[in-house]
Structure 1
Amino acid sequence: MINTKLFCIPYAGASATIFNKWKRMNKDIGIVPIELKGRGSRMREPLYKTLKEAVDDVYLRIIDQIDAHSEYSLFGHSMGGLIVFELVHRIINEKIKMPQKIFISGCTCPRERENKQVHLLPKELFFNKIFELGGTDALVFENDELTDLFGPILRADYKITEEYVANNHRKIKSDLFILYGDSDMGSKGEKLINWKNETSGHCDFQKFEGGHFFIIDQEAEVLNYINSILVASNSIK
């Protein structure tokens, strides 16, 4: 049994429930899904206006679960990856215990992000863009009640990521583990490889078959990879 927690931050529009299956699939890691405001069990709370608000909120939700006697790691996919990146710098500034491992998935390097304005598109064009990425059931786009429910959440999440500008942080000293889909056009070339410039530690790149939502299509493989990293890290202590 590994004495470690893995805090998991979801992608745009998603609830923490996307990680519930991870709990059942891996008993060696304490999977801790983090619910963001405005969805799931926090549906009644106001959506974030900036990525910093999201980072500060997540920090407050995990701080009481970090202690000196056990390890923890961070995982975030897409928007969740940006939150993890800024969260690590918040942790550095607060001088609390650093995560053992940092997993960032389906996320371009913060300094290589394109200036997109998807959140400003009219409803039909906006949902067409979302549908192109995959990861969302087609039934959502065919149901007005569902689009009315999830539309504001998705649009708010896209807004905070598209308006986000990376701060001029010092390099992270911890190792980074970058997960990406081999057919995800948003994670190619320098957009991906320049993650290595964000750490003075090791930066590992792990490719999976699939597009932006490879973590759904290759769920077992993603978990096996994360588990192998954490098992190896703990076994050498």
Structure 2
Amino acid sequence: MNNMLLFCFPYAGGSESIYYPWRKHLLPGIELLPIPYAGRGTRFRDTCYKNMDDALCDLFEYVKKYISGTKYSFFGHSMGGLIAYELCRKLEGEGVHPPKHVFVSGVRAPNRIRSHHLHQLPEEEFKKKLDELNGTPKEVLHNRQLMEIFLPILRSDFRLIEEYAFMPDNARLNANITALYGKGDDIVYEDMIHWKDFTKEQFGLQGYPGGHFFINDNDFDILHLINETLAEH
């Protein structure tokens, strides 16, 4: 295969480092570029995003500098999947060539995103909800100093998702879409199958054992799928 850039978008509360271990399992022709969100990881000193538009304006400039004349694809889990989709729309709208493939993982189709207000919960209720979602390590949840750092990031990310408003114009991407989901997640097959309505190209759907963070326990199989899929491009 010719070289392919793979931009990976973290879930809510995550930083680019969650994808670092993937590098050693990708085909030699695939270059992993984890997305550095503002407010965490290598961009800890930057202000967190206020909303989806804020994120898209920032990440559009980040991605654009890498992709001139280069093939690329997106992978995003949960919040990252929604950002990847919307960023693809923005790139196409600005006349930039679209990704070859978009992998959306553990996130409902854009017109099925449910409106919640978790980001507005008092601290203890918010922490309880995070515990139920099982995406924040227990050692972080029960460490007040760490939570003082992570709570603003998590609230910002949850707000981005919960205040997201889908706009139907030009909703279908000029890119293949593969949707992935956890068979034990609240986001089920019936939610994910609707992603087929958001591409003009090919669509695939794959389920894996586990809950919302199934990517952590199925990374070998998911990377095998990514390698096989991108090798065709």
TM-score bracket relative to the smaller structure = over 0.9
User: What fraction of aligned residue pairs are identical, expressed as a percent?
Assistant: 38
Q: CA deviation at 1:123?
A: 1.0
Secondary structure of 2:65's partner? helix
Aligned counterpart, 1:6: 6
Q: Give distance in 2, aligned partners of 1:117 and 1:10.
A: 21
Residue-pair matches, total = 231
TM-score, normalization by structure 1: 0.94
Aligned counterpart, 1:230: 230
Q: CA deviation at 1:2?
A: 4.3
Q: How does 1:183-222 map to 2 (within 5 A)?
A: 183-185=184-186, 187-222=187-222
The amino acid that maps onto 2:40 is R
Q: Give distance in 1, aligned partners of 2:60 and 2:131.
A: 31
Secondary structure of 1:210's partner? coil
Q: CA deviation at 1:140?
A: 0.8
Secondary structure of 1:215's partner? helix
**Kept in 2: contact 1:113–1:191 (CA 8 A):** no
Q: CA deviation at 1:26?
A: 2.0
The amino acid that maps onto 1:17 is S
Q: CA deviation at 1:189?
A: 4.8
Is 1:44 equivalent to 2:52 in the alignment? Answer: no
Aligned counterpart, 1:179: 180
TM-score, normalization by structure 2: 0.95
Q: Deviations over 1:155-203 (max 9, x none)?
A: 1100011000111232223211101111111x12542221111122221
**Kept in 2: contact 1:135–1:216 (CA 8 A):** no
Q: How does 1:1-237 map to 2 (within 5 A)?
A: 2-28=2-28, 29-68=30-69, 70-170=70-170, 171-185=172-186, 187-231=187-231, 233-234=232-233
The amino acid that maps onto 1:52 is D
CA RMSD of aligned residues (A): 1.3
The amino acid that maps onto 1:198 is F
Q: CA deviation at 1:6?
A: 0.1
Q: Give distance in 2, aligned partners of 1:47 and 1:124.
A: 22
Q: Deviations over 1:29-56 (max 9, x none)?
A: 1000110000011111111111111112
Q: Give distance in 2, aligned partners of 1:109 and 1:17.
A: 26
Q: Give distance in 1, aligned partners of 2:229 and 2:119.
A: 36
The amino acid that maps onto 1:211 is G
**Kept in 1: contact 2:27–2:227 (CA 8 A):** no
Q: CA deviation at 1:19?
A: 0.7
Q: Give distance in 2, aligned partners of 1:206 and 1:189.
A: 9
The amino acid that maps onto 1:34 is I
Structure 1 unaligned blocks of 5 or more? none
Change in CA separation of 1:212 and 1:62 when aligned onto 2, cut-off 3 Å: same
Change in CA separation of 1:189 and 1:228 when aligned onto 2, cut-off 3 Å: closer
Secondary structure of 1:65's partner? coil
Q: Give distance in 2, aligned partners of 1:146 and 1:95.
A: 42
Q: CA deviation at 1:114?
A: 1.3
Q: Give distance in 2, aligned partners of 1:229 and 1:169.
A: 28
